[in-house]
Amino acid sequence: MKEKTTYICEFCGKEYENKDDAAECESMHAKKTNLDFEFHYASADTDHTGLPDYLILKHNDKEYRYERKLVDIKDKPKEKEKDKEKDKDKDKGKDKDKGKG
Ligand SMILES: [Zn+2]
C-alpha cells in the first residue's frame, strides 16, 4: 500500500503533490499587510453602516474595484417564489418568437 501526501494552500485551498509548489502558491497570494486599498463611502444620508461603499485596490499598476454586496444570510424561499410570479407577469407581455429572423 502506498500513502499519498498532499499539500494544501492555506489561502485558496488548491492541492499540490509537491510541497514547494504549495509554498509557491501561498507566497503568490497578496496578503493583508501589502494590499493598498482606497476607501470610498456613500453619503451618510443613505448609508448608516459606516462601512465603505466600495474599495479600490491598486496592484501591479492595475486598479480593481471591490463592491459591497449585502447578503441576506437567512434563506427566505417564500419571498423568492413571489419574485418568480412577478417575472411570469413580465414574460406575458413579451413576444415568444423574438430572436428568430
Ligand atoms: Zn493558493
What separation in Å is there between the alpha carbon of 83 and the centre of ligand 1?
38
What is the total residue count of the chain?
A: 101
What separation in Å is there between the alpha carbon of 70 and the centre of ligand 1?
27
Check residue 15 and give its pLDDT: 97
What separation in Å is there between the alpha carbon of 10 and the centre of ligand 1?
7
What's the pLDDT band for 2 if we cut at 50, 70, 90?
very high
Helix boundaries (H) for the chain: 19-28, 77-92
Q: In degrees rounded to 5, what are phi and psi of residue 68?
A: -80, 135
Closest CA to 53 of 41, 44, 64, 43: 41
pLDDT digits (tens, 9 = 90+) for 39-96: 999 999 998 889 999 999 998 899 999 998 878 777 666 554 555 555 555 555 445 5
Bridge partners for 7 per DSSP:
16
So where are the chain's domains? 1-30, 31-69, 71-101
From CA 24, how far away is CA 12, in angstroms rounded? Answer: 12
